[in-house]
Structure 1
Amino acid sequence: MEALTTRAIELKGRGARQRLLVPGLAVLVCVLFLLSLGVGPVFLPFHAVVDGLLGTGDEAARLIVREIRLPRAILSVAIGFSLGLAGASLQGLLRNPLASPSLFGAPSAAAFGAVLVIAFGVFDALSFFLPMAAMLGALLSVGLLLLIAGPRASLLVIILAGLAISSLAGAATSLALNLAPNPFAALEIAFWLLGSLEDRSMQHVWIALPFIIAGSLLLFVDGAAFRALTLGEDAAASLGIRLNRVRLRVVLGVALAVGGGVAVAGTIGFVGLVAPHLVRPMVRNDPARLMWPAALAGAALLTAADVLVRTIPAQNEIKVGVVTALIGAPLFIVLVFRHRRSLTGEVS
């Protein structure tokens, strides 16, 4: 009887944590968003940030907040959100915790589209035409993926086709970098590939946001399908899940959401892989309940990394893609060791 009471208390506490998880993460994202508006070469206190947002107060503070830091903060939240959501969706679709948004080749193709126009000197890295070229690359990769795999391809065929496209786009990006017409173009390409939110404007926000929103809406549709897939594809099909449509929506959703982020910020790694793992134990490994927490965790992780790069003393600002890799890789190793210990405990 005492054991049952203890178990009931434990389940009640776990349920309370699950109910508080999404609101808590949302509050964390809001706090980091406001912090992002205040942190930089010129530190602004909270009241100056609020006055800048409202268009009152000092003109210099208003210019810094609205024109320089607000687009950057919006992009960090939106891109982190899309990466976390894409990672959770792919891990739910594939039933594999190692799945990441780069799996279907859209991020690599988007990067190649941007690199191509930089290499040929058509646009520079801050031109708002560059994200359009990157987004076009992501959409073309989806069309090529569906063309190679066919309309009724199995998930394995889609994955193999995606890996082939990703490898091809990566090789083409390296070739474009190698054939850059001058050292300045090569340096600009290299810096863009590291991933950064520096000097982004509201034009970049308006270019990326529609694709990120459209892709996120497509991914949110299939939460129930991911839960059914935990029983296996045959069981999910018997429950009325149309697997071909689910796969198509996930591929398109990832391409739009992640491609939109890559188009304006370059390549940002590990967020989509790590964010779902940070919150998965709190939702009892339910892929449907994982989606919102993973998306918010991704937004918090990228925004925190972008705040961090502005506080590190350096001659040139460190690229946020470098920081996410430096944070994400050790964090992922810790999660692997924790998972291994839990498996060892279960076996023993």
Structure 2
Amino acid sequence: MKALHLMLLLGLAILAFGFNLLVGRDGSLLAALMQVARGETSLGTQILVELRLPRSLLGALVGAGLGTSGAALQGFFRNPLADPGIVGVTASSGLGAVVALYFGLTSLSLLMVPIAATLGGLVGVSALLLLAGPRASSTTLILSGVAVSAVASAGTALLMNLSPNPWALAEIAYWLMGSLADASWNEVRFATPLILVGLLILVLVRNDLDPLSLGEETARSLGVNLPRLRLAIVLGSALAVGGGVAVAGAIGFIGLVVPHVLRPFVASRPTALVLPSALAGAALLNLADLGTRLLSGPGIPLYLGVLTALLGAPFFVWLVRRQQGRAL
């Protein structure tokens, strides 16, 4: 991707961040931003600094993690339909959070849900690697990820089924829908190192994705260490996605849609797709979060995961039909 395209994506990410920070149903907070610059304090500045700023930062971080993971996984699996959920991290992180909610661990600390979600994601990744084995092919890794996701989803459904009261069930269901509404600086401090480390891992190994697109045997002959690359992709995606799931719940389709939108601009080169997907993912998720705030009615919130699913599902259907057309 040309430097101009990267600059445009960076500008788009900054604009999306600014819109999500300053625009809402209660009007613009631009005056509050000017008050913050002057060192003044008011209700508007408190809303801006304590509510909107951490929410927008998390939107950028979570979106970058999802977009980058989607690009890396599609390049690694050589499958345009791959997304971060394919390695089981989303489902296993969700199960960890549901365990914390089911047993009321939030009474111990507000960070128990993110901590449990992160631990669930790590357990899911460990199970994936053990199940697939050290020399697993891409197909085996996909099947192992599907198995981990199925087990985690079944566990989540079981806990929801056994939920002791409607309020506990509603809390679990709402969390699984995905949202940044309760974002705070605690969540930002918790998720930032996880997501950034995951992004760093994926960026460092991105150059091995182009040789892999020619096939595993060719990649080996060109010096690609496939076991190391496999481990880096899985762990990087686990950290980047799991850190986001831990604080925002399950948010789908960002990792699927973003790489496909950008692919024509990089001549379908997986290596060149990783960094732009981080910027585009950050922009798209912040715009989607802005949409949830603008579309939500009084007492009837629109959840972020619901909106991304409503926008992403038609794209996914179109993508499948396009792949079928090419196969014919």
TM-score range, shorter chain: over 0.9
Partner of 2:50: 67
Amino acid at match of 1:122: L
Could you report, residue by residue, the CA deviation over 1:282-314 in whole angstroms, capped at 9, with x for unpaired residues? 111011111111121111111101001111151
Partner of 1:43: 27
In 2, Cα distance between equivalents of 1:335 and 1:319: 24
- Shifted more, 140-149 versus 286-295: the winner is 140-149
Give the deviation of 1:51 after TM superposition: 3.5
Pairing 1:1-348 to 2, within 5 Å after superposition: 18-52=2-36, 54=37, 56-123=39-106, 127-315=110-298, 316-335=300-319, 343=326
Residues 195 and 321 of structure 1 are in contact (CA less than 8 Å); yes or no, is this contact kept in structure 2?
Answer: yes
Provide closer, same or farther for how the CA distance between residues 195 and 125 of structure 1 changes in structure 2, counting only shifts above 3 A: farther
Give the TM-score normalised by the residue count of structure 2: 0.94
Which runs of 4 or more aligned residues in structure 1 lie more than 4 Å from their structure 2 counterparts after TM superposition? 334-341
RMSD: 2.0
In 2, Cα distance between equivalents of 1:188 and 1:114: 11
Give the TM-score normalised by the residue count of structure 1: 0.89
Provide closer, same or farther for how the CA distance between residues 332 and 162 of structure 1 changes in structure 2, counting only shifts above 3 A: closer
Q: Which has the larger radius of gyration?
A: 1
In 2, Cα distance between equivalents of 1:313 and 1:115: 25
Could you report, residue by residue, the CA deviation over 1:42-79 in whole angstroms, capped at 9, with x for unpaired residues? 22243433443x36245212101110111100011100
Q: Alignment length, in residue pairs?
A: 327
Provide closer, same or farther for how the CA distance between residues 249 and 195 of structure 1 changes in structure 2, counting only shifts above 3 A: same
Q: Secondary structure at the match of 1:127?
A: coil
- Shifted more, 138-147 versus 185-194: the winner is 138-147
Give the deviation of 1:264 after TM superposition: 0.5
Residues 196 and 320 of structure 1 are in contact (CA less than 8 Å); yes or no, is this contact kept in structure 2?
Answer: yes
In 2, Cα distance between equivalents of 1:139 and 1:190: 22
In 1, Cα distance between equivalents of 2:78 and 2:322: 19
- Shifted more, 125-134 versus 184-193: the winner is 125-134
Unaligned regions of 5+ residues in structure 2, if any? none
Could you report, residue by residue, the CA deviation over 1:253-274 in whole angstroms, capped at 9, with x for unpaired residues? 1111100000011100100010
Provide closer, same or farther for how the CA distance between residues 122 and 94 of structure 1 changes in structure 2, counting only shifts above 3 A: same
Could you report, residue by residue, the CA deviation over 1:142-181 in whole angstroms, capped at 9, with x for unpaired residues? 1122222222222222222211111000000000111011
Residues 55 and 62 of structure 1 are in contact (CA less than 8 Å); yes or no, is this contact kept in structure 2?
Answer: no
Unaligned regions of 5+ residues in structure 1, if any? 1-14
